[in-house]
Structure 1
């Protein structure tokens, strides 16, 4: 074992020996006071789950060697997101899964390799500690799946009624490899539009979890990190033009962002959209458009036409893209327009989402 590795092990072992233990069953204002109760909360719940050398030092910041970052590429990608989902737990995931996967995916769709995350948590007085432990366990599991480290963070406690149980902010940094240039401005006439799988699963799962919709078949959220899928796609085609994960506002919003940023028309075939029958049924009952439903583990890609089948095959060989489909193409007819070719042979414009179909989904 190297000297550096031995030093890291000593830091972690020392942290484990000194670690406080949380004995309370519910969060109180004392856990945000800056004293021993807060220290016990942080050391027991967070450090105990996320342990790594950068975090175990328990400094006010994580220190990362620039040489480690530079070994992955030549540009830094940095993002942040805040999660306020209701309910906290739903089929296929919870707010912790969302917090890690969402930030990892925002980095991945730039072509970056996600490396480190921060975690800021706002807890409401009265939150059951067991619920917090479940969320943190999900964060740990999702971070391990994505191959990232949660290296720094913060906790705050607010009075009962001042928040809705638990809010999480995660920020992340990653490194973009040399030669990769993915942007919403890169769509070109002739390009193919690909989605990575079934659409609308997350939005439907939230409806079910809120008891707003009764389905005989349970639908789980698609929440998952996508960095492995993006790496697979880049190996198949380093010249991916546009990538974005289709979260709030769904695929329709992403396509409009691409069309407007690139000054192109995007034509989508309704018959090609990958949708579960349960999602179709839910949308018909509630008058929702599945193109606007949220996803938390699906991306939209715009790729050169000559690489489309190669990229599609690579995606389908990956667990996060096994139901990937080409759903349309880019044309130069009119700047900033998305057109849906319906199953009945007609056409309609797909606008940006106005208002909110489902509040508090992520």
Structure 2
């Protein structure tokens, strides 16, 4: 248990209504500090090291109100009053093709899903390619075809792009960066500040499918299992949820760092506690078995076609039913609730009746999975 968690669990502080903002700012200032002198793989894992790098280098240099929310996308208000969302992501996964998808699918789904997490209806995408000298044209055509297919299914257009070629050995084959934009419907607001104690936490499907599929596809492990990536565009599922649960507070897709890290980001942003129920966490037996053999907690393994939603308690069952009505959400579950205490901390109720702290991901057990 971390020192901070121990302090809050033992002291049990209480906060008056007027102190909520101060409370949130206090926990935001407790984010990890950058102590490294060089970049490591852990800085790309989405956990503590990533948060420290973003805060100390990028946020410090580029600070502005839109960036400071550190959400999945920026929300911008046009002179007309319309709100648009913009998000960007880079994809460096190895291998380029894996059970259930490819880097082409990820390049579309990753950015489309980030737009959906801030409430936008994804509409347009740009794509930039960094190609290594010697990369087979036939393989590039297959990956671009995957992107075209994914964009068609997601209902978006790839409207602009760029291509660069670097010397042999300088890019590990192919890197892709996509930037997306979409319009946010009127009166739709999603934020960590909207979350309240008593709200319910929903997960749209099983944990860890993508991360374990990529790990096994590399062939470095003497392990075989029938695991496919869940990569998919979740926009239709989000729209179903928001129609059934219009008071939905917050959304986030558990990619790098998995469910555990995303819940920690929510706890730190809101200043509230997230209490998960281990018995209700959906995970496929094959994924769970692979995680056990590798000594990896499934809570930290990435998905690319799932999302976490915090919904008002009175709308939780309607929201869950809506998710389960769609093929992408058949395994959706209510996995926990928001509490006043332990403040800014994530806790799991175990099957033995006890609890354990779930901290942000430390290190990088699954490098280059997206």
Contact 2:98 2:229 in 1 (8 A): yes
DSSP-derived class of the 2:192 partner = coil
- 2:212 equivalent among 204, 217, 224: 204
The CA distance in 2 between the partners of 1:264 and 1:217, in whole Å, is 38
Contact 1:104 1:114 in 2 (8 A): yes
DSSP-derived class of the 1:104 partner = helix
Structure 2 residue aligned with 1:255: 263
- 1:157 equivalent among 153, 165, 177: 165
Structure 2 residue aligned with 1:245: 253
Under a length normalisation based on structure 2, what TM-score does the superposition of the two structures give? Answer: 0.77
1:238-287, Cα deviation, whole Å (9 max, x unpaired): 22101001100000111011111111001001110101111111111111
Structure 1 residue aligned with 2:131: 123
User: How big is the alpha-carbon RMSD for the aligned residues of Structure 1 and Structure 2?
Assistant: 1.5
Contact 1:180 1:239 in 2 (8 A): no
Segments of 4+ in structure 1 off by > 2 A?
Answer: 212-217
Structure 2 residue aligned with 1:102: 110
Task: Please say if 1:291 is aligned against 2:299.
Answer: yes
- 2:86 equivalent among 54, 57, 78: 78
- 2:140 equivalent among 123, 132, 141: 132
Contact 1:215 1:278 in 2 (8 A): no
The CA distance in 1 between the partners of 2:287 and 2:144, in whole Å, is 30
- 1:175 equivalent among 168, 177, 183: 183
Structure 2 residue aligned with 1:5: none
Q: CA deviation at 1:70?
A: 10
Contact 2:275 2:348 in 1 (8 A): yes
Q: CA deviation at 1:215?
A: 5.1
The CA distance in 2 between the partners of 1:317 and 1:226, in whole Å, is 13
Q: How many corresponding residue pairs? A: 293
Which consecutive unaligned segments of at least 5 residues does structure 2 have? 1-77
- 1:190 equivalent among 191, 198, 218: 198
Task: Please say if 1:308 is aligned against 2:309.
Answer: no
Contact 2:213 2:229 in 1 (8 A): yes
- 2:343 equivalent among 331, 335, 352: 335
Aligned pair in 2 of structure 1 residues 340, 111: CA closer, same or farther (>3 Å)?
same
Aligned pair in 2 of structure 1 residues 219, 70: CA closer, same or farther (>3 Å)?
farther
Aligned pair in 2 of structure 1 residues 208, 216: CA closer, same or farther (>3 Å)?
closer
Under a length normalisation based on structure 1, what TM-score does the superposition of the two structures give? Answer: 0.79
DSSP-derived class of the 2:246 partner = coil
Contact 1:123 1:156 in 2 (8 A): yes
Of structures 1 and 2, the one with the larger relative CO (CA 8 A, separation 6+) is: 2
Task: Please say if 1:326 is aligned against 2:334.
Answer: yes
The CA distance in 2 between the partners of 1:236 and 1:178, in whole Å, is 17
Structure (1 or 2) with the larger CA radius of gyration = 1
Task: Please say if 1:354 is aligned against 2:362.
Answer: yes
The CA distance in 2 between the partners of 1:273 and 1:212, in whole Å, is 28
